[in-house]
Amino acid sequence: MTHDLNIDLETYSSVNLGKCGLHKYAQSPDFAVLLFGYSLDGGPVEVIDLTGGDKLPEWLAAALTDDGYRKHAYNAAFEWYCLSRYLGRELPVSQWRDTMLHGLYLGYPAGLAALGKVLGLADDKRKMAAGKSLIQYFCVPDKAGNRRLPRDDPDKWALFTEYNRQDVVT
């Protein structure tokens, strides 16, 4: 039996992803996976907070290399490469499915927020509007070059965790 594992990550790096690209972003010495959101076979979304010492459950770490699990992500190259870097080994790319590419093939827009709108998804199924500001706060350094941590704003971190959960839903 093949299982479907939907994944979304939130990450940190001091390297500008848009300017430098995924490889340099994830190769930065300060690169970190912050949140790992997932849903197995359409079940409830779980979010693992890797900033607080939580680890991936053994079954989930094993599933990332098991061909009995199809891994799905929106812009899957990001999740695939970041998880390969996080785990210290290249994950089998053939096991990944990119839902953004599937949508583009069908003529849909590339952005997850725009896609949700075009598909007419209900608000509780769409990408959260607060996402950009949360990513700016937790995933990139501030103007002085400092990293913001969950303890710096626990309420924002709770919202960021929900943002990660909602991206898996969307």
How many of the other CB atoms lie within 10 Å of CB of 69? 19
Q: Determine the average pLDDT of the residues in 109-126.
A: 75
Q: Which residue has the tokens 């979010």?
A: 47
DSSP lists the bridge partners of residue 37 as 8, 47
Nearest of 52, 53, 69 to residue 61 by alpha carbon: 69
The whole model's pTM is what?
0.92
pLDDT digits (tens, 9 = 90+) for 55-85: 999 999 999 999 999 999 999 999 999 999 9
pLDDT digits (tens, 9 = 90+) for 23-61: 999 999 999 999 999 999 999 999 999 998 899 999 999
Distance CA 44, CA 29 (A): 33
Q: What percent of the chain lies above the pLDDT cut of 90?
A: 77
Mean of per-residue pLDDT scores for the chain: 93
Residue 121 in contact with residue 166, Cβ under 8 Å? Answer: no
Distance CA 112, CA 102 (A): 12
User: Tell me, what's the pLDDT at 31?
Assistant: 98
Pick the more confident residue, 87 or 105.
87
pLDDT band at residue 124, thresholds of 50, 70 and 90?
low
Q: What percent of the chain lies above the pLDDT cut of 70?
A: 97
Residue 58 in contact with residue 23, Cβ under 8 Å? Answer: no
Distance CA 96, CA 9 (A): 14
Distance CA 83, CA 26 (A): 9
